[in-house]
Amino acid sequence: AQTVTQSQPEMSVQEAETVTLSCTYDTSESNYYLFWYKQPPSRQMILVIRQEAYKQQNATENRFSVNFQKAAKSFSLKISDSQLGDTAMYFCAFVVGGSQGNLIFGKGTKLSVKP
Amino acid sequence: GAVVSQHPSWVICKSGTSVKIECRSLDFQATTMFWYRQFPKQSLMLMATSNEGSKATYEQGVEKDKFLINHASLTLSTLTVTSAHPEDSSFYICSAVNPSGRRNEQFFGPGTRLTVL
């Protein structure tokens, strides 16, 4: 079975500090894509960052970066210089390449950024 | 960017009635759309995959006769909750894949909150 595990139901961080959200996944496929999505209180799902499994280089998007460890099947998200607007639910997800494209989501981590 | 809309954003209906939710890709043609259900403080649960011009593929445990999906055009998919009951109350989210965009990247609609009285 293909699964995504987010072991931290809730986390908090002080504004301007750095926080890392954990994610592990399980799949026997070699071609897949990994994502972190953010869901703020508005409940609109927003793509934060994306990683192709065949790329060794970790993806970065401004203050967001990932630590992708393929052998360990780990895909953590680091948020630097946390801002109040980063407060949201964060979902880790992956999709198998060549499939219909349905995402497999983790249960999410609720991140609170405190002033 | 790729924008997906949903209508309505919030609907209240009486038990036993049917409710239709629309999902539209506004600036791209989506051959594949997905329908998710999200309970409070939980993750997204895939209900079905909708392909334009063909029957939807439902996930195990999802009643296809209750949740009717129609993907009649490349920009519109609809989810009809038939004979709704209070347990169908939930947040429904659609997403769409832009075939011209990055592979396997889904764009999500803003969601529809359904309350069945």
* pLDDT tens digits, one per residue of A8-22: 999 999 999 999 999
Tell which A residues from 48 to 107 touch B, by Cβ distance under 8 Å.
50, 91, 95, 97, 100-103, 105-107
Residue A66 pLDDT greater than 80, yes or no: yes
pLDDT per residue as tens digits for the range B67-107: 999 988 999 999 999 999 999 999 999 999 887 777 778 89
Query: B117: burial class by Cβ within 10 Å (0-12, 13-18, 19+)?
Result: exposed
A chain contacts of residue B99, beta-carbon cutoff 8 Å: none
Mean pLDDT for the stretch of residues A53-82: 96
pLDDT at A102: 84
Residues composing chain B? 117
pLDDT at B106: 87
pLDDT at B101: 77
Residue A101 pLDDT greater than 80, yes or no: no
A107/B108 CB distance under 8 A: no
Identify the residue among B23, B42, B43, B103 best suited for mutation to test binding to A, counting A beta carbons within 10 A and taking the highest: B43
Reading the block at residue A7, the tokens are 């072991």
B chain contacts of residue A107, beta-carbon cutoff 8 Å: 42-43
What proportion of chain A, given as a percentage, has pLDDT over 90?
Answer: 88
Q: Average model confidence (pLDDT) for chain A?
A: 94
B103/A50 CB distance under 8 A: no
Degrees (nearest 5) of the Cα angle A36, A38, A44? Answer: 130
Mean pLDDT for the stretch of residues B59-74: 93
Strand partners, B4: B25
Residue B28 pLDDT greater than 70, yes or no: yes
Residue B106 sits at the chain A interface (C-beta within 8 Å) = yes
CB atoms within 10 A of CB A7: 11
Residues composing chain A? 115
Residue B14 sits at the chain A interface (C-beta within 8 Å) = no
pLDDT at A79: 98
Calculate the alpha carbon distances from A75 to A42, A62, A99, B40 in Å.
26, 17, 21, 25
pLDDT at B92: 98
Candidates B39, B27, B43; CA nearest to B96 is: B27
B chain contacts of residue A35, beta-carbon cutoff 8 Å: 105
Residue B108 sits at the chain A interface (C-beta within 8 Å) = yes
B36-71 as b/e: b if 16+ CB within 10 A: bbbeeeebbbbbbbbbbeeebbbeeebeeeebbbeb
Q: Average model confidence (pLDDT) for chain B?
A: 93
Residue A99 pLDDT greater than 70, yes or no: no
Residue A2 sits at the chain B interface (C-beta within 8 Å) = no
